[in-house]
Amino acid sequence: MPILKSLGVADPKVPRAGTLPLRSSRNPFEDIPGLEEESGELGTLPNGTSCHRRATLEKLAGLSPFRLGWAQGRRAGSPGDGPPRSFLGRVLPPGLRRSSADFGLLARLQGTRAHGDEEGPGEAARRLAFLRLGRGPKPRRASLAERVVPAGEAAPEPPPKVPEPPKMKEPLSVLEILSLIQQRELARADEHILELEAEELASSGGAPGPPVAEGASGGRRARDVALLYEALQRELWALVRETLAGPGPGAGAGAGAVAQLGQVLVQEEAADGRRGPGAARKLRARWAEAVARAARERLEAAAPGAPGGLAGQLEALRARLLEDMAVVRGRLAPAYPTGLGAFGVYLRGYHGALAEWLGASARRRLPLADRYALLHWHNQVYPREVLGLVDMVALENGELGPLLSPGTLRGLEDECVTDVKAQTRAALLRVLQEDEEHWTDAADWSSSLAQDVCELLEEHTERAPRISQEFGERMAHCCLGGLAEFLQSFQQRVERFHEHPGIRELPSDTYISRTISLVNCGPPLRALAERLARVGPPESEPAREASASSLDRVTRLCHRVLADMLFQELQPYFNKLMRRKWLSSPEALDGIVGTLGAQALALRRMQDEPYQALVAELHRRALVEYVRPLLRGRLHCRSARTRSRVAGRLREDAAQLQRLFRRLESQASWLDAVVPHLAEVLQLEDTPSIQVEVGVLVRDYPDIRRKHVAALLDVRGLHNTATRQEILAVARDLELCEGGALPPPRDRAFFSDIPVPRPSFCLSLPLSVGRLPLSRLARPSLACLPLRPRPLSPSRPRAQR
């Protein structure tokens, strides 16, 4: 052992005092794989073992990191350990990066470790202690002063220290860069990747760079850069997903990682400017894509588990959007550099992901309720409750695009309109059929037809305008068309009901109640039609007119039926008018007033609008029936006293009828003056006053004709031809002035419903005519004869002149 003795190390076979002898002289490194014998005497280790083994890279691939560290020796390039060395221990030129072969080795090591058992920290510590035991204690060497200065003499002063030149920063290896990526020191790792990329460009002649060592492969370095970028992007996009999941316990650490992500994007954007358009990596665009992918995953995870069908899923999407955008606004966006516009990127990512989700939902065959929910959420909820709470100023490129294309929205609206048209038509006919079954039922029953129809249509006409104004107009036009068809069918069934021969077998009260129920359907349905016409487009006007026409026919028919029943009961009282007993007894008029007042209680169950129309019709018809016997010549006045009595009674009856119909809330006040005007014509004596009164009659009641005035003059007993012509001339002149005027409407017609006999003419004869006695010509009843030619007898031919 001369070498050991020269180093001051005792013989390992002889134990030193105070130490325990080794259990065996066997070399502890014989079991380490990857070490093989080497020819030639290489010396011995301090513990006395031989150094005839050396490590090979191929056999060290399966070693643990501790064995690998021993086999490799001290890490090449560490401070204070000499010049930088390669993985195999070769000395590298100053400033040159170690070979990237250990990147592949790391992949092999990671692959082996991934499929093998993990090594615990305790085992690694024991192996490290074992390795140190095998190497033995480090011998102490004498310093230079102890060697030069003899014992007992003072040591000279040490020479002044010369400042060492600053050491150059050594580049990191590929494994060390990968370790930085795994530790999420992303900004620092990206800096070293950019340096490595610059070296690769220099080696390929793309740009000047540091010298390249002999044997270095430019292709291997390019693969290392590509693999490092893949690893870097995996960590970046994983960080994007993790930070969106919620703040969690490490919110501060997450913000720091987001800041590093933003710094990497800034560095890479600057590097893209140096690389050129063809070689740009465009990490900023890929970051936006990663944000969109993360947003898509978040939305897809929120929607499926929501209850309530599509409406519930949309509500879950709204909640997730607001939650995530609050995280972006409060925690993520401030951590990014300002120039990246992080909030706008996240908002666009969620907007695009939501557009994909809604588009996929719109392409499915959805029920009508889900289509309504989708359109309402798209047009109202998302702009108001999501984008309305977002700072749109943060967007760099203006407003966001639509979630669904106009064609998709139009298609959804068309499907809604088609379904509503089909569903409402079937539902309305079903409701009408169910209601009609009770019309002939004698039991007490209240119709809800109008309410059911309004509810069926308003369900759609109220939802559609909340989606958009245009869609509301289309839906109103659709529902108005369906309503017009329904009302036409309703009118036909009401006509069949009143024409049915067995309907008269119902009790009178039941029949009146059913008729009132049918009339009461008119006002709400008419109001619905008017409202739909106002909301709908101009093309809705024909449907509105058709609806109004059907309702008018139903109302007039029911009013006529009720009025006929009432006046059939009143006819005996009207037959007693304008007779001698009428002048002295108010019995007839009292019966009329009492019967009308009693029936009005039943009619009051009718709604206001049709009730007012019915009372006005009853008012008009009652006065028509009152005046009819007067103009038909049932009464003739032969003296002024008789004319005065008749005029007074007419005024009393007119006042009593006026009080009755005011109590019944009649709005036909234009009828109150007709009987007083007729009384004035009968009572006045001078011709000019009669002419004035006739002029007032013709002005207030345009449908009066000369035949009516002539009949009134006959009742008055005015047979003077000249006087009659003067009075009738007033009516003729006013008729000529109004010759081109339209006839009054039905509710304003009065005299047109009163037929009178043919106009009579007065005979102007001499005192004696043939065999006709003069005494008979003096009778007033024969003074005026009707203008009616007598038919010739077939046995008596006309005499020839």
Condensed to tens digits (0 to 9), the pLDDT of residues 196-236 reads 888 888 777 654 444 333 344 457 888 889 999 999 999 99
Query: How many Cα atoms within 13 Å fall on the side-chain side of residue 208?
Result: 0
Q: Which two tokens stand for residue 32?
A: 């380490």
Residue 180: pLDDT band with limits 50, 70, 90: very high
Smallest Cα–Cα separation from 558: which of 590, 517, 527, 508? 517
Q: Give 721 or 443, the one with higher predicted confidence.
A: 721
Q: What is the pLDDT of residue 790?
A: 41
**Token code pair at residue 215:** 């044997």
* 81 phi/psi in degrees, rounded to 5: -110, 20
- Give the span between the Cα atoms of 314 and 303, in whole angstroms: 7
Give the confidence band of 96 by pLDDT, cuts at 50, 70, 90.
low
pLDDT for residue 304: 76
Within 13 Å and on the Cβ side, how many CA atoms surround 568? Answer: 7
- Say what the pLDDT of residue 507 is: 85
Q: What is the pLDDT of residue 415?
A: 94
Q: Which two tokens stand for residue 444?
A: 């007490």
- pLDDT band for position 482 (50/70/90)? very high
Containing H/E element for 55?
Answer: strand 53-55
pLDDT band of residue 155 (cuts 50, 70, 90) is low
| Greatest mean pLDDT range, 387-401, 575-589, 726-740 | 575-589
CA 178 to chain centre: 51
Which amino acid type is present at position 385? E
Nearest residue to 516 (alpha-carbon basis) of 452, 559, 565, 453: 559
Q: How confident is the model at residue 295 (pLDDT cuts 50, 70, 90)?
A: very high
Average pLDDT over residues 167-172: 67
Nearest to 611 by CA among 622, 623, 599: 599
Res 444: pLDDT: 76
Q: What whole-number distance in Å separates Cα of residue 291 and Cα of residue 305?
A: 23
* Mean pLDDT calculated for residue range 653-662: 94
Q: CA 104 to CA 110: how far, in whole Å?
A: 10
In this prediction, residue 86 carries a pLDDT of 47
DSSP letter assigned to residue 37: E
pLDDT at 101 over 60: no
Distance from C-alpha of 755 to C-alpha of 701, rounded to nearest angstrom:
15
Average pLDDT over residues 315-321: 92
Taking the CA of residue 403 as centre, how many other CA atoms within 13 Å lie in the half-sphere pointing to its CB? 26
Give the β-pairing of 35-37 and 784-786: unpaired
Task: Output the CA torsion sign for 52, 55, 58, 62.
Answer: positive
SS3 content of the chain, % helix, strand, coil (to 5): 65, 0, 35
pLDDT at 17: 41
DSSP 8-class letter at 280: -
pLDDT band (50, 70, 90) for residue 151 = low
Cα distance between residue 83 and residue 408, in whole Å: 70
Position with higher pLDDT, 30 vs 503: 503
Residue 769 has pLDDT above 70, yes or no: no
- Identify the sign of the CA torsion 385, 305, 333, 275: negative
Tell me the Ramachandran region of residue 618: left when phi exceeds 0, alpha when psi lies from -120 to 50, beta otherwise. Answer: alpha
Phi first, then psi: give them for residue 399, nearest 5 degrees.
Answer: -75, 160
Query: Could you tell me which residue, 771 or 386, shows the higher pLDDT?
Result: 386
Distance between CA atoms of residues 655 and 570, nearest Å: 19
Determine contact, residues 228/222, Cβ cutoff 8 Å: no
Asked if residue 31 has pLDDT above 90, the reply is no
Q: Strands 760-762 and 784-786: what pairing?
A: antiparallel
pLDDT at 30 over 90: no
Q: Are 610 and 519 in contact (CB under 8 A)?
A: yes
Task: Show the CA angle centred on residue 308, arms to residues 302 and 310, nearest 5°.
Answer: 65
Which has the minimum average pLDDT: 47-51, 313-317, 499-503, 566-570? 47-51
Least confident of 276-280, 327-331, 523-527: 276-280
Q: What is the dihedral of CA 499, 516, 663, 699, to 10 degrees?
A: -50
Closest CA to 287 of 361, 228, 326, 237: 237
Nearest Cα residue to 226 out of 276, 170, 177: 177
Q: Does residue 62 surpass a pLDDT of 90?
A: no
What would the two tokens of residue 154 be? 């003072």
Where does residue 225 rank: exposed (0-12), middle (13-18), buried (19+ CB within 10 A)?
Answer: buried
Of the pLDDT bands very low, low, confident and very high (cuts 50, 70, 90), residue 516 is: very high
Average pLDDT score over residue span 117-128: 49
Q: Which of 674, 661, 540, 682 is nearest to 611 (CA)?
A: 661
Give burial (CB, 10 Å; 0-12/13-18/19+) of 702: buried
Confidence class of residue 419 from pLDDT cuts 50, 70 and 90? very high
- 432 or 800, greater pLDDT: 432
Determine the 3-state secondary structure of 225 from DSSP. Answer: helix
Q: Choose between 214 and 332: higher pLDDT.
A: 332
Structure tokens at 701: 């009641």
Q: Does the predicted TM-score (pTM) go above 0.75? A: no
How large is the average pLDDT for residues 82-89?
A: 47
Q: Tell me the average pLDDT of the chain.
A: 76
By percentage, how much of the chain surpasses pLDDT 70? 68
Q: Which are the contacts of 337, defined by CB distance < 8 A and separation ≥ 6? A: 262, 263, 265, 266
Burial group, residue 528, by CB count within 10 angstroms (0-12, 13-18, 19+): buried
Q: Which pLDDT value is given to residue 637?
A: 87
Report whether pLDDT(738) > 70.
no
Strand partners, 54: 36
Amino acid making up residue 99? S
Long-range contacts at 690-699 (CB < 8 A, ≥ 24 apart) = 690/727, 691/726, 691/727, 691/730, 694/727, 694/730, 694/731, 695/730, 695/734, 698/730, 698/731, 698/734, 698/735, 699/734
171 three-state secondary structure: coil
Measure the CA–CA gap between 424 and 532, rounded to whole angstroms: 15
Length reported for the chain: 801
> What phi and psi values does residue 582 have, to the nearest 5 degrees?
-60, -35
HSE-CB at 213 with a 13 A cutoff on CA atoms is 17
Q: Mean pLDDT across the stretch 631-642?
A: 87
> What per-residue confidence (pLDDT) applies to 439?
87
Q: How many helices (H) and strands (E) would you count in the chain?
A: 29, 4
Q: Which residues contact 457 (CB under 8 A, 6 or more apart)?
A: 424, 479, 482, 483, 528, 532
Q: Show Cβ contacts of residue 666 under 8 Å, excluding neighbours closer than 6 positions.
A: 612, 615, 616, 618, 619
Average pLDDT, stretch 114-124?
Answer: 47
Torsion region of 189: left, alpha or beta (phi above 0 gives left; psi -120 to 50 gives alpha) = alpha
pLDDT at 162 over 60: yes
Give me the DSSP letters along 653-721. Answer: HHHHHHHHHHHTT---GGGTTHHHHHHHHHH--SHHHHHHHHHHHHHH-TT--HHHHHHHHHHHT---H
The C-alpha atoms of residue 56 and residue 38 are separated, in whole angstroms, by 11
CB atoms within 10 A of CB 162: 6
Rg (CA), the chain: 58
Per-residue pLDDT at 153: 55
Q: What percent of the chain has pLDDT over 90?
A: 44
Confidence (pLDDT) at 316:
92
Other Cβ atoms less than 10 A from the Cβ of 113: the count is 14
CB 713 within 8 A of CB 727: yes
> What is the pLDDT at residue 547?
95
Q: Tell me the per-residue pLDDT of 247-282, one tens digit each, with 9 for 90 and over.
A: 554 444 567 889 999 999 999 999 988 888 788 899
pLDDT of 743 above 90: no
- Please tell me which residue, 205 or 372, carries the higher pLDDT value: 372
CA atoms within 13 A on the CB side of 704: 29
